[in-house]
């Protein structure tokens, strides 16, 4: 077993590169969004119970993911940001102020559809505890996002609480991060395989300077027949293993992606990066069908003073010109594609409510395909 973070998660689960799958671009040291300095990720994972659904009791297959865009003491300082909704059948709170001002502050949370409000409000409670001045002197509009996990999880049982939000936020770290069925991704499915949380990063050289682009996805989308792996439509080869339904499965797929970079970009440029996320999703066979909430956020940790926007003085911001942005578009597309595949590879079969079963992407098939 290798301890290379490009090939295994901290718990030892495989990542896509372990199977010899080749990707373009140069990954960062961890091949994770946490390669962007100051960014940290934490989880609360809730797995309990088996058998028939009893609303309010389980089975439970859900959780919370927290992404801190700046170090804890600096979370009140905004980051320049942009959002893009490829298909709006989903939710990302705080989106209106991002559209209006090109910035947001406070942590990001991702969870299941029916707990999105809990994680939003839980973030405010946590900020009141950690940085009370940040919420006492201004309003709070945290970014909280969701995808639907009701095939495996007792989603109407509302098992995510403020305690779990605080657990994810308190546990956020800037090292290698776990992938697969963890945090908000615990009960998620992609292309009929077990999916969930995934990440990747790329190094971009510009004018003698080194910048990092990182992606984090909560992958819960796609039809098996469309699944693509490095440009080949492999879904038709993978009719089995199939999902087994104790209860009929609602078609409610979505994907949330968060892009982070330390490159200096202005808000309109961050929106441009967010607009490239769907191209990475499409590289895996995601086509933004009607029921899919495909919502993407991109932020830059640079230009902290300008983003803070102190009154009474001219603010100055550095930025890479639009004419030089293409390598960063490449990095977004590459990291999103790899993050989705990591979310699928770093996974095992899961059985949830009513015996509903979702298989993992077969490791033996990957070895045969790429080994």
Residues marked active site are found at 254, 292, 294
DSSP class of residue 92 equals: B
Q: What is the helix (H) or strand (E) element at residue 160, kind and residue range?
A: none
Query: How far apart (Å, rounded) are the C-alpha atoms in residues 127 and 112?
Result: 21
Beta bridge partners of 200: 215
Per-residue burial over 23-32, b if 16 or more Cβ lie within 10 Å, else e, is bebebbebbb
DSSP SS3 for 135: helix
Q: Which of 147, 146, 145, 141 is nearest to 94 (CA)?
A: 141
Q: At which residue do the structure tokens 């090109």 appear? A: 102
Indicate the length of the chain as a whole number: 371
Q: Is the dihedral of CA 116, 141, 121, 299 positive or negative?
A: positive
Query: How far apart (Å, rounded) are the C-alpha atoms in residues 288 and 281?
Result: 9
Q: Is the dihedral of CA 338, 330, 316, 98 positive or negative?
A: negative
- Region at 287 (left for phi over 0; alpha for psi -120 to 50; beta for the rest): alpha
Measure Cα distances from 224 to 221, 233, 237, 271, 339 in Å.
Answer: 10, 10, 10, 30, 18
Q: At which residue do the structure tokens 């970009």 appear? A: 265
Query: How far apart (Å, rounded) are the C-alpha atoms in residues 322 and 326?
Result: 8
Q: What is the helix (H) or strand (E) element at residue 363, kind and residue range?
A: helix 363-370
Beta bridge partners of 214: 201, 260
Q: At which residue do the structure tokens 């439970």 appear? A: 60
- Region at 94 (left for phi over 0; alpha for psi -120 to 50; beta for the rest): left
Beta bridge partners of 254: 220, 293
Q: Can you state the angle between helices 326-345 and 267-282, rounded to 10 degrees?
A: 50
């Amino acid at each position: 077993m290798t301890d290379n973070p490009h090939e295994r998660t901290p718990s030892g689960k495989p990542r896509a590169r372990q199977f010899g799958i080749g990707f373009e671009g140069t990954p960062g040291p961890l091949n994770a969004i946490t390669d962007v300095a100051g960014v940290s990720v934490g989880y609360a994972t809730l797995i309990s119970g088996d058998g028939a659904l009893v609303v309010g009791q389980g089975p439970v297959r859900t959780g919370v993911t927290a992404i801190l865009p700046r170090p804890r003491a600096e979370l009140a300082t905004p980051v320049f940001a942009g959002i893009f909704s490829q298909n709006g059948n989903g939710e990302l709170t705080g989106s209106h102020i991002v559209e209006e001002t090109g910035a947001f502050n406070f942590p990001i949370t991702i969870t299941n559809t029916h707990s999105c409000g809990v994680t939003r409000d839980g973030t405010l409670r946590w900020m009141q505890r950690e940085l009370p001045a940040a919420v006492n002197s201004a309003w709070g509009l945290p970014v909280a996002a969701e995808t639907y996990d009701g095939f495996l999880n007792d989603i109407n049982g509302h098992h995510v609480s403020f305690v779990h939000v605080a657990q994810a936020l308190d546990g956020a770290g800037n090292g290698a991060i776990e992938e697969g069925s963890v945090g908000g991704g615990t009960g998620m499915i992609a292309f009929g395989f077990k999916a969930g949380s995934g990440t990747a990063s790329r190094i971009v050289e510009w004018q003698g300077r080194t910048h990092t682009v990182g992606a984090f996805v909560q992958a819960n989308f796609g039809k098996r027949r469309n699944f693509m792996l490095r440009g080949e439509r492999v879904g038709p080869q993978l009719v089995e293993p199939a999902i087994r339904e104790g209860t009929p499965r609602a078609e409610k797929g979505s994907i949330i992606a968060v892009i982070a970079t330390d490159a200096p970009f202005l808000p309109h440029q961050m929106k441009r990066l967010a607009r490239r996320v769907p191209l990475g999703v499409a590289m895996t066979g995601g086509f933004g069908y009607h029921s899919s909430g495909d919502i993407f956020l991109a932020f830059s940790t640079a230009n902290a003073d300008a983003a803070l926007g102190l009154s009474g003085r001219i603010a100055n911001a550095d930025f890479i010109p639009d004419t030089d942005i293409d390598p960063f578009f490449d990095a977004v597309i590459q990291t999103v594609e790899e993050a989705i595949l990591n979310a699928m590879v770093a996974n095992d079969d899961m059985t949830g409510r009513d015996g509903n079963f979702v298989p993992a992407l077969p490791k033996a098939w990957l070895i045969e395909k790429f080994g």
